[in-house]
Amino acid sequence: MIASPIVCDKKQGSLLESLQISVCKLFNIGKLRMLIIISLSLVRGLIPGIQVFLIGLLIDAAANSYSFQYVLNSSFYLGGTIISAYLFDNLIIYLSDSITIDLSKDVDFDIVDKLCNLEVQQFETEETYDLIQRADNSTGLHIFGLFDSIRSTIQSGITIFSITLVIWSWNPFVAIMLIVAPVPSAIATLKIQTMAYTIDYNRASDRRVVSYYRSLLMSDSARKEIILFKYADILRERYSVLQKEFQFQDLKIAKYNFTIAGSLGFISIIAIIVAIVLGARSTLESGNVGALAGYISASTSIGPLMLAALVGFMGLHQHLLYISNWVAFLKLNPKTPKSGDIPYKGSDPASIEFRNVSFTYPGTSYKVLNNISFKLEAGKTTALVGLNGAGKTTIIKLLLRFYEPTSGAIFLDGRDISEYSRDTLYQHFSALFQDFVKYDRSLADNVLFTSSSDDRDVDRILKTLSMVGLKYLANLLPYGLDTMLGRRFENGQQLSIGQWQRLAMARALYKSPSLLILDEPTASVDAISENSIFDAMSQLSRNMTTVIVAHRFTTIAHSDKIIVIKDGTVHAIGSHTELLEQSEFYRKIFYAQVHYHDY
């Protein structure tokens, strides 16, 4: 019978919560393996004490000319402990590695799952990027490190106890000295760990900047500007400044390690030497040569063991700090707009109404939209026109349910859009964004991602490519629809920016949506391609409502109605001819563009 997973509550706080989630994660992934490791560690912890005792017997036997059989038996027992320790150590390492591998994979999937569930608005804040930077894949190592610190501390404690018990029977004072000696070194190690974590935590933002500079230097799309505007030296300089700051911080830790930590470590070494001297003196007094060998053996092992136990115990805090970064990211609540239970069927073109809608971005006080009202008629094409920053893109974000209006409401087919299930809305809404994505995947994947090529509707993909004038790529590219696009991967074929935009348009059209939003849909295409796209769309327009955000009047001319947005308000609504007659602001925009193209 398979045990049910432990339910991990992620709604508590700080390090205690991190500890709880780590324990849950560990037990869900490797409960049996952990129990085996613990059992092996308990037995393994006793072996060094037994070895010290056997070494003393063996040396004493040799010094006092005991029988060969006695020496042979003692050697046999000592060899048995050495082999046992070797086997136990290797088995513990194997089981530890297997748990760590599983943890790393699981933590990585946790991060990916969380990224999949974040909202658009969360990627518009620096906080989210810092949390992502800190919640890296090493969390799995820290979760196991938490368990391993406890395990190694217990094992070291048992070992120290067993060795100390043997040494105590010979000389209690030497035993105390050997236990106390590593304490200064442990304090220094803890300080270094704390410094390293603090520096790593505070570096998150700067590390993102460094990664960004590197990504620019590796980007094929940025390469042209880097060469033309001679940005390479500037990027190198800025990259170098940050890296030198990182280097200075790392050297600061190294300096501390050499000076303060080195001094404390030296104190520990002196204490161990004193313990050996005292042990040697005790041996001279007692004549027990085996005890001297035991003192020397214990002095070389109990110091590192004591240090490992203290550092392991104090390292629990460090592991929890790193794990808490991952927990903080998992606790990042998606700021999801309202989503109702009513399924949106989308069988007919969508009818949209903005009614007294105002909007202010979270964390700001400026009203981007101020009490706007307008209608988008079903099956018609409406253009949103206005200067940059007027609020056009914000209208699109609200319409696509990326944000909730601050006040007012948006109606879809006569019902408040928030009453519909967002998942069903996205089955029938589609968009071409101004900052469209160029997926470095196959031509087919750029139209529709599928789990495998067997799931593709090839005829529909080719038909959609034909709508945007790209069907010829399926025949031109070396592997047809399976041809990798972009330059990142092997045999990748690069497209022009206009081809990429038309490919993004194909992705938007593939759904046959009831609502299609086009944000600067022809910014990167030539006039002939623009006409072919809109000719294809005109055949579909009766089955969908289209919203166009554009500055080019050749694009706007394809609209049935134009809504002019100015300073977050609806300035005017009408056809192109009507607006030329009624709106001075619209005329100014239009003639500015016409005048420009006349030249």
User: What's the confidence (pLDDT) of residue 289?
Assistant: 66
Q: Which of 235 and 447 is assigned the larger pLDDT?
A: 447
Tell me if 154 sits within 8 A of 161, measured CB to CB: no
What is the model's pTM? 0.71
Average pLDDT rounded to a whole number, residues 9-24? 70
DSSP state for residue 4 in the 8-state scheme: P
How many CB atoms neighbour CB 50 within 10 A?
18
What percent of the chain is helix, strand and coil (3-state, nearest 5)?
65, 10, 25
Kindly indicate the confidence band of residue 287, based on its pLDDT and cuts at 50, 70 and 90.
low
Q: Take residue 24 and report the two structure tokens written for it.
A: 């849950």
Kindly indicate the confidence band of residue 225, based on its pLDDT and cuts at 50, 70 and 90.
low
Kindly indicate the confidence band of residue 2, based on its pLDDT and cuts at 50, 70 and 90.
very low
Give residue limits of the domains in the chain: 15-331, 352-436+513-595, 439-494
User: What CATH number is given for 352-436+513-595 in this structure?
Assistant: 3.40.50.300
- Which of 361-375, 562-576, 584-598 comes out lowest in average pLDDT? 584-598
Q: Take residue 391 and report the two structure tokens written for it.
A: 């609020």
Residue 356 scores a pLDDT above 80: yes
Q: Take residue 405 and report the two structure tokens written for it.
A: 């209006």
Residue 540 scores a pLDDT above 60: no
396-430 residue pLDDT tens = 999 999 899 999 999 999 999 999 998 899 889 99
Rounded to whole angstroms, how far apart are CA atoms 420 and 340? 5
- Which of 16-25, 173-182, 333-342 comes out lowest in average pLDDT? 173-182
- Which of 288-292, 370-374, 417-421, 464-468 comes out lowest in average pLDDT? 288-292
Kindly indicate the confidence band of residue 478, based on its pLDDT and cuts at 50, 70 and 90.
very high
Phi-psi region of 401 (alpha: psi -120 to 50; beta: other; left: phi over 0): left
Residue 137 scores a pLDDT above 80: no
Rounded to whole angstroms, how far apart are CA atoms 263 and 266? 5
Q: Which of 530 and 252 is assigned the larger pLDDT?
A: 252
Q: Which of 10 and 164 is assigned the larger pLDDT?
A: 164
Kindly indicate the confidence band of residue 375, based on its pLDDT and cuts at 50, 70 and 90.
very high
CATH class of 15-331: mainly alpha
Average pLDDT rounded to a whole number, residues 101-119? 85
Q: Which of 216 and 91 is assigned the larger pLDDT?
A: 91
In 92-117, which positions are buried (b, 16+ CB within 10 angstroms) versus exposed (e)?
beebbeebbebbbebbeebbeebeee
> 503: helix, coil or strand?
helix
> 572: helix, coil or strand?
strand
Tell me if 346 sits within 8 A of 428, measured CB to CB: yes
Element (H, E) at 518: strand 515-519
Closest to 182 measured CA to CA, from 306, 323, 339: 306
User: What's the confidence (pLDDT) of residue 11?
Assistant: 40
Q: In the block, which residue shows the tokens 């930077």?
A: 133
Q: Give the rounded percent of residues in the chain with a pLDDT score beyond 90.
A: 22
Closest to 439 measured CA to CA, from 430, 450, 429, 428: 450
User: What's the confidence (pLDDT) of residue 9?
Assistant: 43
Tell me if 338 sits within 8 A of 331, measured CB to CB: no
Residue 288 scores a pLDDT above 80: no
Residue 133 scores a pLDDT above 80: no
Q: Take residue 205 and report the two structure tokens written for it.
A: 């933002």
- CA atoms lying within 13 Å on the CB side of residue 391: 25
- CA atoms lying within 13 Å on the CB side of residue 336: 13
Residue 221 scores a pLDDT above 70: no
306-339 residue pLDDT tens = 767 766 776 777 788 888 888 888 888 877 788 8
Rounded to whole angstroms, how far apart are CA atoms 29 and 33? 9
240-283 residue pLDDT tens = 888 888 888 888 888 887 887 778 778 777 877 777 777 777 76
Average pLDDT rounded to a whole number, residues 526-552? 72
User: What's the confidence (pLDDT) of residue 542?
Assistant: 61
Residue 596 scores a pLDDT above 60: no
Residue 516 scores a pLDDT above 50: yes
Average pLDDT, the chain: 82
51-96 residue pLDDT tens = 877 877 777 777 676 677 777 887 888 888 889 989 999 999 999 8
User: What's the confidence (pLDDT) of residue 537?
Assistant: 63
Residue 534 scores a pLDDT above 70: no
Residue 563 scores a pLDDT above 90: yes
